[in-house]
Amino acid sequence: MESIKIATAQFENKSNDKAYNLSVIDQLSQQAAQQGAKVVCFHECSITGYTFARHLSKEQLLQVSEVFPDGESVQRLIQIAKKNNIAILAGLFEKDKEDKIYKGYVCVDGNGLIAKYRKLHPFINPNITPGSEYCVFDLYGWKCGILICYDNNVIENVRATSLLGADIIFMPHVTMCTPSTRPGAGFVDPKLWENREADPTSLRLEFDGMKGRDWLMKWLPARAYDNAIYAIFSNPIGMDDDQLKNGCSMIVDPFGDIIAECRTLGNEVVTAVCTPEKLKDAGGYRYKNARRVDLYKEIISLPHKPEQKVAWLTGEE
């Protein structure tokens, strides 16, 4: 296994404007390839937009959704990958032949579909069906996995994907800057985004504080460190429907160190080199090998009723 340069991107998507979003994905993919990256990762629902979907009926959501991989957007993504000679990961709503709707995510290159994944813990719209399996696949000699947004907050998902062999986990998100029971959480005023050129400091204080990056730093490096993986985090920046997002797309190595991060208050792509040596040098490699499954395998599998409440969707405090 040889070292590989990977890119992660952030951009301001437009709701239900696939043509525009794909055009930005094309531009940023070209930039990533020019920087030497073999792979570039975009955020959850980067092709369709995300937050607007909370208002859609099932019929409307079906109109937005596409069949994988034959749908127009995935085919266009394959063309973009071929044009720029780079593998691309991006997301949109998927539908199957029975009109079930999923929060989908794909990895493609110029030859076609490499892998697809369905979010295990969707919540933006009650008409979305949860995925039912993990995704681990080969990419340029590396074992890779995908977990979307909330999937990464359930720590067993990251560990399971790692135990299935993934050394790199792509973690596309639309997150931060929303209310929750967590102290310091909340929306960021869209006016700060509109005034970002004149007053970047006020916006950056909100983006980097407990509403945003400070919260991310509580858990994202730990996922990479505990599992000895490269975590490729992607997140939009700017307005997503009526909500402001703060970007901070980054690459975290198996030591839990940030080795690349988008810091521009706008569209950006950054790259980092992933080296195989870190996978075994990191503490998480030893911790996984030191596990005593006999102590807790029955505890972990105890039956329970899954519960997922998201404060800014339910209106609950």
Q: Which domains does the chain have, with CATH numbers?
A: 4-314 (3.60.110.10)
Mean pLDDT of 150-169: 97
Q: Are 155 and 171 in contact (CB under 8 A)?
A: no
Q: Identify the CA nearest to 159 among candidates 28, 287, 30, 314.
A: 287
Q: Identify the CA nearest to 251 among candidates 28, 68, 9.
A: 9
pTM of the predicted structure, to 2 decimals: 0.96
Q: What is the mean pLDDT of the chain?
A: 96
Burial class (CB in 10 A: 0-12, 13-18, 19+), 180: middle
Percent of the residues in the chain that have a pLDDT greater than 90, as a whole number: 94
Q: Are 273 and 298 in contact (CB under 8 A)?
A: no
Q: Identify the CA nearest to 227 among candidates 287, 153, 292, 146.
A: 287
Q: Identify the CA nearest to 235 among candidates 127, 148, 116.
A: 148
Q: Are 154 and 130 in contact (CB under 8 A)?
A: no
3-state secondary structure of 73: helix
pLDDT at 35 over 50: yes
Pairing label, strands 250-252, 258-261 = antiparallel
Cα-Cα-Cα-Cα dihedral sign, residues 178, 179, 182, 183: positive
Q: How confident is the model at residue 304 (pLDDT cuts 50, 70, 90)?
A: confident
**Alpha carbons 274 and 259: distance in angstroms, whole number:** 9
**Alpha carbons 33 and 36: distance in angstroms, whole number:** 5
Token couple for 54: 């909370």
Percent of the residues in the chain that have a pLDDT greater than 70, as a whole number: 97
Q: Residue 310's pLDDT is what?
A: 65
Q: Residue 306's pLDDT is what?
A: 80
Residue with tokens 């691309």: 88
**Alpha carbons 275 and 253: distance in angstroms, whole number:** 9
Count of CA atoms in the C-beta half-sphere (13 A) of 128: 24
What's phi and psi for 254, nearest 5 deg? -65, -15
pLDDT at 121 over 60: yes
Q: Over the stretch 245-271, which tens digit does the pLDDT of each residue have?
A: 999 999 999 999 999 999 999 999 999
Mean pLDDT of 187-209: 98
pLDDT at 312 over 80: no
**Alpha carbons 15 and 45: distance in angstroms, whole number:** 10
